[in-house]
Amino acid sequence: MREFTYNRDTKETKISISLNLDGSGLNSIDTGIAFFDHMLQQISTHGLIDLQIKCEGDLKVDMHHTVEDVGIAMGECINKALGDKKGITRFAHSYVTFDECLTRTAMDLCNRPYFIWNVKNTLEKVGEMDQELFPEFFKSIVTEARMNCHIENLYGDNNHHIIESCFKSFALALKQAVSIDPRKKDIPSSKGKL
């Protein structure tokens, strides 16, 4: 099993995460932000990642530290759970429709973090979350997991649908990228190293 447990304790957040890349989508998530919990459940459910998250953040200040630090902790768990990355598929992409919208995620687990967020929204908030928090979360998880990830909403009108399709598309791409290809015995790189 490719799994990792991580605890992160700062003056802004106290986080405990357990992640299993070879799970079935079981999850227990409590960040204190209901809409964020719902989005993290999408990653677990559609990525078939068992995920337990408990976060106590300084929500009296705002949601930024909680969202960013959960991304940091999740990215660290993904990176550690992948180990040496031998045999992984590495490259992946996913298109997700959600009613009127279409979103694409392309991913490379290459050890070179780079993040593109090409998502336009018409509201300041989705649920209780500021729109600007969503790219902050993904930037944090991408950086710590050491992946290249581009998330783009191709079209859509409903802000809830747009954001949820981003999380679902990310989940499906991640599921594919971390999957083991039985034909690959070594590091998936012509250089022999990621």
What DSSP character marks residue 158? -
What DSSP character marks residue 128? T
Rounded distance between C-alpha atoms, residue 6 and residue 52, angstroms: 10
If phi > 0 it is left, if psi is from -120 to 50 it is alpha, else beta; for residue 191 that is alpha
- State the pLDDT at residue 1: 79
Look at the domain 3-178 and name its fold.
Ribosomal Protein S5; domain 2 (3.30.230)
- State the pLDDT at residue 192: 76
Residue 78: closest CA among 168, 1, 4: 4
- State the pLDDT at residue 190: 79
Domain ranges of the chain: 3-178
- Average pLDDT by stretches of 10, the chain with 194 residues: 94 97 98 97 98 96 96 98 95 98 98 97 92 97 98 97 98 98 86 79
SS3 content of the chain, % helix, strand, coil (to 5): 35, 30, 35
